[in-house]
Amino acid sequence: MTLSNKHILIGITGGIAAYKICELIRKFKKSNADVKIVCTPNSLNFVTKLTLQNLSQNEVFVQEFDVKNWKPEHISIADWADIFLIAPASANTISKIANGISDNLLTSIACAFSKKMIIAPAMNFNMWNNEAIQKNLNRLRCRGAEILEPESGFLACGYTGKGRLCGVNKIFDSVIEALKYSSVLQGQKVIVTAGGTIEEIDPVRYISNYSSGKMGLAIANSAYNMGAEVVLITTKDCDVPYKTIKVKSALDMQKVLNEEFNNANLVVMAAAVADYRVKNYSEQKIKKSNEETLTIELVKNPDILTELCKHKVNQIVVGFCAESENLFENAKIKLEKKGCDFLVANDISRQDIGFNSDENEVIIFSKEGNVQKFDKAPKKIIAREILEWINTK
Ligand code: C5P
């Protein structure tokens, strides 16, 4: 892939792995990218400004308030960049960024940066295992940053363990990958539903299912990484950098979905919606009686997907189905019956994928008769494959 017209901003922090970034800059330049470097003052103990300047063929930024035009430097550099790679990322800088501290040019840019951020940490293995650092990394992940985990091996501090900057080739490939996908869904509104609905019986009891919401979350994350405006309608708590609406029941989900649907381009119904709800919700806790049985009457929920498809104009609607037998036949029948554009089928007879698992294997059917299988892979990968495939159809 040629990186012409791509603006890559590399943030370098104070760690011995800083020298490895020189090689990385050369690789980006060879691919025709425009590269700018921002250094923390400490990083210049490990690499010189002159080296970075010569390699990137651009001015190297270190000082704040070194203002050359009306726009503050941290804003104009953030605006310029398509992607912000921080490598090596020290424990100190990771923690500052995670907490919004902006006490040098690099951390100020990070605070003002709203596009894709990739962080490649490098540090001593005890620092890496420190609970505070792991929590801060998780905060960054939840805000959409991609963390390239360090590798295990001999560390410059003399110890052996996990903490070594991951390979330069891996960092290079991750940046290319992110740039390739970052604008695939730009300008599109994507709605994703996730999790199992909760159908209340009384104030303390409910009927639900084992859906973890992980597949829906992975699809929403992928859509966000592909540049879409995402709305995730979910029954689960999650901390993500885009709009989420938490719902409980199928009826709640339908109401919110109807409100969001009109200006949507793509709707992915990954939620496990209950087919039935309790007919008479009890305002008071149902007491144990002397009877040996208790009967709770259920009524049918609307099929949200089918109803949406009846009213769709230009929206592309994707349904999911969980099948335990005759997957091909049942999926094709369901696709037609529901009236959606695509149906993603999971085989729930398998223990190693699907419900609650971090991996999945799916077959996707289009209403035009196209079929594509995506082999077992982390849900994150499957999510991107599904969105990409749909986007090319
Ligand atoms: O019919 P089945 O439950 O297998 O269909 C699953 C698909 O239909 C999923 O996309 C799910 O979100 C959707 N669905 C729905 N409303 C229901 C039941 C399922 O939208 N009441």
Instruction: Give yes or no for residue 94 CB within 6 A of ligand 1.
Output: no
pLDDT of the residue at 68: 64
DSSP string, 269-284: E-SB--SEEESS--SS
pLDDT of the residue at 350: 73
* Spatial distance between the Cα atoms of 36 and 95, rounded to a whole number of angstroms: 23
The SS3 of residue 40 is: coil
Instruction: Give yes or no for residue 321 CB within 6 A of ligand 1.
Output: yes
* Spatial distance between the Cα atoms of 304 and 12, rounded to a whole number of angstroms: 49
Is 157 among the residues known to form the active site?
A: yes
Residues of the chain predicted below pLDDT 70: 66-71, 353-355
pTM flag (> 0.85): no
The SS3 of residue 254 is: helix
Supply the residue whose CA is at minimum distance from atom 3 of ligand 1. 321
CATH numbers and ranges of domains, the chain: 7-179 (3.40.50.1950), 189-392 (3.40.50.10300)
Output the CA 308–ligand 1 centroid distance in Å: 11
Helical pair 250-261 and 304-311, crossing angle rounded to 10 deg: 20
* Spatial distance between the Cα atoms of 161 and 152, rounded to a whole number of angstroms: 5
Q: For residue 296, what are its two tokens?
A: 């709770």
pLDDT of the residue at 70: 62
pLDDT of the residue at 2: 84
